[in-house]
Structures are given as structure tokens and as C-alpha cells.
Structure 1
Amino acid sequence: MILGVERQLAEQLSMIGFTEEDRRVLEIVKPIMIGHIDAIVEAFYSSITQVPALQKIIADNSTIDRLRTTLKQHLLEMFDGRIDDEYVRKRLRIAEVHQRIGLEPKWYIASFQNLQGAVLDLLHRVLPDRTQALICCKAVTKLLNFEQQLVIEAYDRKNIEERERVHLQVRQEVKRRIGLVSEELAALAEQTNASTEQLAASSGHVNELFQRGADMSHRTRTLAAEGAMQVNEMDRRMEKIRDRSSAMEGSLSSLAESSGQILSIVRIVQDIAGKTKILSLNASIEAARAGQAGAGFAVVAREVKKLSEDTAAAVKQIDTLIRLTHTHIDEVVGSNEEVRKFVELGQRQSERVLFTFDHILEALQSSIAEISKVETELDSLLRAIGEIGSATARVAVSADNLNTTAQNF
């Protein structure tokens, strides 16, 4: 039983068949190692310095001379044959150093193989007894194997610790980043929600304005249609005025013609009254010549004269009235012509107004159609905004869940 060695290490030694007999054999080998230690160390480092990666590790962390001294001491301690807790701790420290300077296990195993080969070759050369040499080589091989077990196990333990450390760092970093992301997501969700609510309110206001605009467009279209109907009605009335004006113009022409005929008759009557006056004058003269016998005839002559004068006065008055009537007829005809021109101008303006109303109605109809499209788009926009709000709420919940998950990670 090897004292001071933990149960697991004892089981490892038992597994490779290392016994007290092997320890005693190592005491025989130690003087040989002391006598050839320099050659063994030189052979070991001559192979190592051929690898650029190993050269760099040595140059960055130590020197060849210092490492030669360390290896000599290490080999001599190995062949003391004493395997205890201190022996194990030193091997573990060696593994920690190798781990720290970045020596990969493959280079350690390769270098150790070269060291083992150099030791075995040495034993075969200096021990003439083949049986003794075989026994020594087996004991050395067991010792070196146990050395490798300790160092490789320490490598593994350090790698596990390093992986756990890195894993812990990664977990902490992941938690931190997820926490930051979840906080940013929550803040972004809150901002997005506020913006969505503001956008929804603005869109609702815009939609309300569009509704009012649509209602106004519908009312304007109705008023424009009514205006067009009123213009058409006014145009029909002006057409009637024009027709009546034309009829009045014809009546005035007939009246003027009748007045002309009356005037002609008045002239005839004036002529007759003149002749009657002359005739009464001649009758008065003849009555005067007849004396008493013509007294009655003189009375008749005076009456005829008076009648002639009254007729002349009446005819003159009629002539004056007819001339005044002609003047009024001319004025009415002029006024009627002006009315006709105004009516024609009004009809042309009515046509332009109707044309404008038609364009207004077409524009309003097109505007109403576009407003309907915009209303549809606004409805879609409002629905999309609502969906964004719902999605934002879900993002906020997911961010909270993510943060909770990260804290429990």
C-alpha cells in the first residue's frame, strides 16, 4: 500500500500494475538517469525547438536554459520512487503552467513520447541484461504513464473549469444583453404604442375631416344640380320673354302701321275740314250778298264753319296724340330691342353657367369617387394601425417574458 495517495490515485496505479516492486526498480534506474540527465534533456529540447509553435511559447514565457534546469529537477524527482500528495500537487502545477502558457495537449503528449523514448533507449544501452532492462523499462513506462494521467487529467479539469468559466461569462453576457434588448424592446414597444395611439387619433381626425369633406361634396353636388335646374328654368323663362318680346314687337309694328293709317285718315279729315271751312266762308259771302233772303243760309254757314273749326281742332289733337303714340311706340320698340338683347345675353350666360355647372358636377363626382377611395384606404390604415397596436402589445409582453427568462437563465 502506498501511503498518502488518495483512493482514486491508488486505483489508477493499480490499474496500470504499479507496485512496490516497481518503486524499488526506479531506485535502481535513478543513478542511471543522474548520469545521463544532460543527454536526455538535450535530446528532449532538440526535438521541441524544431516546432515553431513551441519555439514561440518558450520565447514568450521562459528560456531554454531555465527550462533545462527545471526538467532535470523534475526527472530526478520522478525517479525518487516516492508518489505522495506533494508529488501529485507538483504534477498538477505543471499542468496549470502548461494550460496558462497555451501549450496544447497534443504537443505535451508528443514531447512526453520523445522523453519516454529517450529514457527507454538509454536503459537498453546501459543495461546489458535484457531481462533487467525489460523490467526497468516496464517500471519507467508505468511511471511515465501515471505522470501523463495526472497531467492530462489536470488538463481536462482546467479545460472544464475554463469552459465553465467561459460558459458562465457567456451566460452573464447573454443575460445582460437579453436584459438590455428586452428593456429596449419594452421601451420601443411603449414608444411605438404611444406613436400608434397618436397616429390612430390623427388618422381618426383625418378620417372625420374626410367624412365632412365627403358630406360637403355631396351637398355641393346637390346644390350644383339644383343650381343647374334653376339655370335651366331661368333659361326657359328668358326664352318665353324673348318670344313675348318678339310678339310684342310684332304688335307694336301693327300698332305703328295702324297709327300711320289713322294719321292718313286724319290728314284726309283735315283736308275735308279745310275745304268745309272754305265752303262755309263762301256760303257766308253768298248769304251776305243775298241780304235778308240769305239770313238763314248765313246761320247754316256759321254752324258749318264752327263745325269745321271744331273738327280741325279735334283732328289736330288726334294728330298730336298719334305722333305722341308713335314716339312711345318707338321708345317701346327700342326698349323691347334692349330686352331682347339682354335676354340673348342672359341665355348665353346661362349656357356658360350650365357648362360650368356640368364641369362642377363632373369634378364633384370625381372628387366623391376619390374621397370614397381615400375613405377605404383610411379604413384599411386604421385597421393596420390597430393591428400594429396589438402587435406592439404582444411585443411588450414578449419583452417582459424574455427579460424574465433571461433572469432565470
Structure 2
Amino acid sequence: MNLHEYQAKAVLREFGVPTPRGVTVAAAGQCAAAAAELGGEAWVIKAQVHAGGRGKAGGVRLCRSAEELSAAAEGLLGKRLVTYQNAPDGQPVSTLLIEETLPIARELYLSITVDRAAERIGLVASAAGGMEIEEVAATAPEKILRETVDPITGLMDYQGRNLAFGLGLAGEQIAAFVKLVKTCYRIFLERDLSLLEINPLVVTADGRILPLDCKMGIDDNALYRQKALAELADFSQIDPKEAEAHHHNVNYIALNGNIGCMVNGAGLAMATMDLIKLSGGMPANFLDVGGGATAQSVAQAFQIILADANVKAVLINIFGGIVRCDLIAEGIIQAVKEVGVKVPVIVRLEGTNADKGRELLAGSGLAIIAANDLNEAAKRAVVEAAA
């Protein structure tokens, strides 16, 4: 789960990290009051969407009057902001963050994430922060600094100093940076984050170090113990089908193909998608109904899959380990009748009571195609989707 910038900065402030002063607005008419509250002669208005590249897409603007702020707000609120990270459809803008301007001397980059290769938490920093950080990483990787945290010792001060030296910081800035890094590491652990990214981290003309932007991603598996953060979820920022799946506790990710997939188990779902691709087709989604699939969860999964107008066939691949295949077959029959499925449905059952499950499907009188193995099922789904 991702947080908006203004939400992430609130978490930073909760842990004592200073941030630029800002006010959120949801209507253009609130801009004049926000400008008066912040004071000054210029402000930055930022569209709050779960995507990077906002500046290049016109989602971050410098305004020098309350009238200019209101006009910028009118041009952003209620629209969909399209960036290189969320193309082609973009994401809706319902909230804006208006912040004070700062005298920026330098722009740096800092992030904390999970280094899966090292199986540890990793820190990444660069003196080349700002909108071009992805290009820097691709074209000049030597400018990217890294530190890996030993889970036994935790983040050490010398690691923070290594990064500070590499960033060209000096004097009191080094101590301020080390304190910031250690606090961010603490936030990462205590809030169960999968990502904490500050870009840019700015050095002001008077020597302060402040996060000008901040992104936070929370491990979905830890939301049960991060209830306050879970309540901040903005489901308008994700695919509506993914939002619906979340509410039904179904693991679903929308893709760009035309073969809907319903599988029990994440690994089996990945293998199913691979075989569809190998057979010349394209999966329309990743959908894992879980090891304890029921008739109800199958029906809900059907509804979510068929909400995608691109789906031309549905491939169901169930391995009956925890659940019995005959019960799943009954659920599939019930779901096809209830949902009114009008596209070909190909089913592969294997495991406990698989033969009985296939008998039920064959005797249902419905247009359900039973496959004996997964290769056959994938190939048949590709053929049916292209028909």
C-alpha cells in the first residue's frame, strides 16, 4: 500500500523529521486561505497521486500569487494526471499539497528498501537527486551510493557517514544527515515499510537538510498491525478491479492480455501465466483465490475477472490439496450460473477428487471446457480467446 506525499511527510514529522510547511486543499477556493496561512510570495502546488514523474507531467507547479494558485488547482483537481509511471490512463487528482518555497542549494537522493538479493535492508543515495534520478542510475551507476544493513547490528553511524561523505556533505550537515538516515531507518522498521524514498532531499542555502518530496510503501502483509496507516489507503489510485479484489481478500493484479486467470496459489498462478505466454497468448490478470478457495470466492473472482472488457476467455487452474476439486467444481458451476459468464471457460483440475470434479463439470450442461493437463488448458485458452 502506498501513501500520498502529504501522508508520508506526516509520518516523518511524527518521528521528529522537519519538513517544508504545507497545507492540503481539495477545492480551488481553499487556495487563497492556504497561501495566507503559509505566508510568503510564492508557493509550490503538488498533485497528490501515487506515481513519480509529477513534475514533468505538470503536476508540480510554482505559483507567485493566490490567483495563480487557484488557477493551477482548477487545472488539476478532478483531472487524471498521466506520468511516465502511470501511463496510459493516469490517476485521479482529488487532493493538492501547497507548500512554502525554499532556497535550494543542492538536490540529493535517499531511499531505503529491501535488497532481495542480499536479503537485507539497503540504503541508496546519490548526489544527483531530482527528476532525472532514473536516468542517472541507468547512465552513470557510479554516482549511486549503497549501504547494506546487517540485521544483527542494525544501521551503524559509520554507514550514514559513508553516505554523507559520498554526497559531499560537510561540517554540521554530516551529523544532520546521519540523524535523518537513522530516523528513516527506524520509521522503515516500525511502520513495516517496503520503501521509503526522499527525492529530492534538499540542502538549503542556509545549510538545512529537508525532504522536499517523500514516498512510502507499506508491506500489505503488515497492515493488520499498522491500522492507522491502513486507514489512509486511497483506492481511487489503483485499478478498480484491484480495489474490488482487495475488499474481497482476493489477490488480483490487472494485466494487458485477454485471457482471464483464476488459480489457487501464487506459484501456480505464475506458472499458469508463463504457460499462456509460452502458448502464444497474453494473461489479462494475476488472480490467486488462495488455498482455501470456496464457491463464494470463486464467484467473486469471476465477477472481478469479467469486469475487464478485454477478457475473451477464462482459464481456471485448481490444484486440490487443501481443498477438494469436487467442491471447487460445484463452486465453478454455481458461479457460471450466477455471474452469467458469456466467454469460454477452460478448467483444469488436479489433486483431491479431481476425477469427481471433472465429472461434475461434464454433467453440468454448461459451456465449460475440461482440460486434462495444464499445457492442454493453456493452449485451448489461447485458441478460444482468439476465436
Shorter chain as denominator, the TM-score bin is under 0.3
Greater helix share, 1 or 2? 1
Larger Rg: 1
Higher strand share: 2
Using structure 2 for the length normalisation, give the TM-score: 0.19
TM-score normalised per structure 1:
0.18
Higher relative contact order (CA 8 A, sep 6+): 1
